[in-house]
């Protein structure tokens, strides 16, 4: 028995690995954040229908014992999230920890992570970096998080509805920081907007879609 943590595309369906398709075809069940969405993904790759187990932030604690039981009965289970790598700013950590505690083999199947794609395309130093996850919404906590970029290149997940406010905060408090807004990665309108906060603020109204914000003082 094994729990396969299967990464899925973050926008471009070509970014599914051969191994991910094979594992999803072979497992006995699929744990999924959005079963309808995963169903469509499986259909796209001609993967036969599977038993789906719903797993999200609201039902994680309730569903975990059922999934562990299936694994302990000897079933192989794949775990997918809506997009990218499960557990990375997605539900998953709780299930993975419980599986580890039950001596269940964990097999990560690598693939897309938005933060990594954004970092790679940013042109900012990435020999060392920090992944923050979603930026806090309140400006005090947000500023503390943004200031981590004094020491490292930092990748944040940010909402397109809040990016303008975040750029305003950066212009005021950290005008010299190097910024890259990586948006719609792997999709048709993929774009890397690089510059100082004030420069990017000028085009902030046009920043739409999914965003990784990358900051570096170097
Ligand atoms: N598990 C995912 C991963 O491996 O990257 C992250 C899931 S998190 C719930 C969703 C956030 O990731 C979005 O709000 C956005 O900040 C970022 N994101 C996901 N896909 C993206 C894309 N194609 N381009 C830019 N950012 C993306």
When divided into structural domains, the chain yields a total of: 2
Q: Which of 61, 82, 109 is the last residue of a domain?
A: 109
Instruction: Select from 13, 37, 43, 34 the least CA-distant residue to 24.
Output: 43
- Within this chain, do residues 34 and 95 fall inside the same structural domain, yes or no? yes
The count of residues in the chain is 218
Tell whether 132 and 181 lie within a shared domain: yes
CATH number at residue 126: 3.30.950.10
Give the domain range for residue 123: 114-215
In angstroms, the CA 3 to CA 106 distance is: 5
Domain limit, last residue, from 87, 109, 131: 109
With contact defined as beta carbons under 8 Å apart, do 135 and 213 qualify? yes
Mutating to test ligand 1, I would choose from 87, 89, 158, 161 the residue with most ligand atoms within 8 A of its C-beta, which is: 89
Residues with CB under 6 A from ligand 1: 10-11, 81, 83-85, 88-90, 113-115, 157-158, 182-187, 210-212
Prediction pTM value: 0.95
Per-residue pLDDT of the chain (218 residues; tens, 9 = 90+): 999 999 999 999 999 999 999 999 999 999 999 989 999 999 999 999 889 999 999 999 999 999 999 999 999 999 999 999 999 999 889 999 999 999 999 999 999 999 999 999 999 999 999 999 999 998 889 999 999 999 999 999 999 999 999 999 999 999 999 999 999 999 999 999 999 999 999 999 999 999 999 999 99
């Amino acid at each position: 028995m094994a729990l396969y943590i299967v990464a899925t595309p973050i926008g471009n369906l070509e970014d599914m690995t051969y191994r991910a398709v094979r594992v999803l075809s072979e497992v006995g069940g699929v744990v999924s954040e959005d079963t309808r969405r995963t169903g469509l993904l499986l259909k796209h790759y001609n993967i036969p229908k599977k038993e789906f187990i719903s797993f999200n932030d609201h039902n994680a604690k309730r569903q975990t014992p059922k999934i562990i039981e299936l694994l302990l009965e000897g079933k192989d289970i794949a775990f997918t999230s809506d997009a990218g790598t499960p557990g990375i700013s997605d539900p998953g950590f709780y299930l993975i920890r419980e599986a580890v505690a039950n001596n269940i083999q964990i097999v990560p199947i690598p693939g897309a992570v938005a933060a990594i794609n954004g970092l790679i395309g940013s042109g900012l130093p990435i020999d060392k970096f920090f992944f923050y996850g979603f930026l806090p919404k309140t400006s005090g906590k947000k500023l503390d998080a943004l200031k981590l970029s004094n020491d490292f290149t930092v990748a944040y997940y940010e909402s397109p509805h809040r990016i303008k406010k975040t750029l305003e905060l950066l212009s005021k408090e950290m005008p010299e920081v190097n910024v890259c807004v990586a948006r719609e990665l792997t999709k048709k309108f993929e774009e890397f907007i690089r510059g100082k906060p004030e420069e990017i603020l000028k085009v902030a109204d046009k920043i739409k879609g999914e965003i990784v914000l990358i900051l570096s003082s170097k």
